Amino acid sequence: MHLKKIPAALLPLLFALPATAQQTPPSIQQQLGDCSKLVETNARLACFDRLAVAHGATPAAPALEAAPAPAVASMTPGQQPTAFPVKPQPDPAASVDPVVEAAAEYTMAGHWELDDKHRRGTFVFRPHNPNYLIAARTYRPNEAPYEPFRAADFTGKLSHAELQYQLGFKMKLVETAFESPVDVWFGYTQNSFWQAGNREASSPFRETNYQPEVMVVTPLNFGVFGANLKYLNLGLNHQSNGQSSTLSRSWNRLYAEVGLERGRLSLTGRVWKRIKESAEDDNNPDITDYMGRAELAGTYRVDGHEFSALLRRNFSTRKGATQLGWAFPLAGPLKGYLHWFSGYGQSLIDYNYFQRTIGAGVVVQY
């Protein structure tokens, strides 16, 4: 016989049952058994109450149904009971947008360390502009700048094929300057154009551009046009090719850049103002006519693939450049890379020369 939740008033009666089994009328035992078989709690308690009243006892107040005890694992002698682990239920408020989760491999907050979660301190080398190596073919090499320096009997020409690579890094110099959410960065980028297969011309480096810059970056966090405006970057940029005489090219500029994110898509917009030089020191006074005064860059990321585009434009002269790229997975941060460029300013020596280039190689992306 299984008795469930018997009222306190009937406990003396039940304890007395074994000792007085022979004296207790069978009808009482039968009635107790009938009550205990009732499944519904309220009906079972009411049955016991009726028996208690019938035998002169005062029925107790109905007891609240106890919560089920947590299940415990099987124990050996002397072992403490251990509750089975309960699987945590997902918090609806903490759910992640699958589009945002898919783009989590790159975020502007991580790239610029915009919050406490991503901060790594000062003087730590970090990725800046993409580092790549490509074998490229140029549609129309620019021979003119080099002709005055060639020997009279030299008949070699620039090769249409060359290796192009870009290397760079950035490093935080000051974190939370003046106890405000402002970081000061130093960045460096180098682009080289190497005529590696041009043995007739001794495989020269046709051009190398050096670009150091200082940047002041502060986080932003508000919506605009359905995207999240993430940061503001104010920078001082120098770019030169380290040459002398008529091959020398250089300029300095101040710029402002903002970054936006929307799911898998990230966008940066930049405008700049050239710092004027004296006429005798300026070897490319019309550089902004060709390099423009603003650029828009964007990257769309999906399943490890990255599709990028850069547009640069001077609306007064209608000159600028377009660059497209596709990076696809190979191994870890190393990705295959297809690259296309059309316009002015792929290198400083070609700032006023229209160039069209296509290339393939690898890029390292973190």
Query: Does 192 participate in catalysis according to the annotation?
Result: no
Q: How far apart are CA 101 and CA 111, in angstroms?
A: 16
Q: How far apart are CA 363 and CA 129, in angstroms?
A: 11
Q: How far apart are CA 195 and CA 163, in angstroms?
A: 6
Query: Which listed residue (238, 244, 305, 347) is catalytic?
Result: 238
Q: How far apart are CA 289 and CA 354, in angstroms?
A: 13
Query: Does 240 participate in catalysis according to the annotation?
Result: yes
Tell me the chain's radius of gyration from C-alpha atoms: 39
Q: How far apart are CA 323 and CA 309, in angstroms?
A: 6
Where do runs of H (alpha helix) occur along 107-257? 108-112
User: Which residue has 């932003």 as its token pair?
Assistant: 220
Query: Which listed residue (240, 250, 278, 305) is catalytic?
Result: 240
Are 265 and 300 contacting, i.e. CB atoms less than 8 angstroms apart?
Answer: yes
Q: Give which of 354, 350, 300 is closest to 322, Cα–Cα.
A: 354
Residues 6+ away with beta carbon under 8 Å from 123 = 171, 172, 173
Residues 6+ away with beta carbon under 8 Å from 236 = 213, 214, 215, 252, 253, 254
31 secondary structure, DSSP code: H
Pairing of strands 294-302, 250-262: unpaired
Are 252 and 306 contacting, i.e. CB atoms less than 8 angstroms apart?
Answer: no
Active site residues: 238, 240
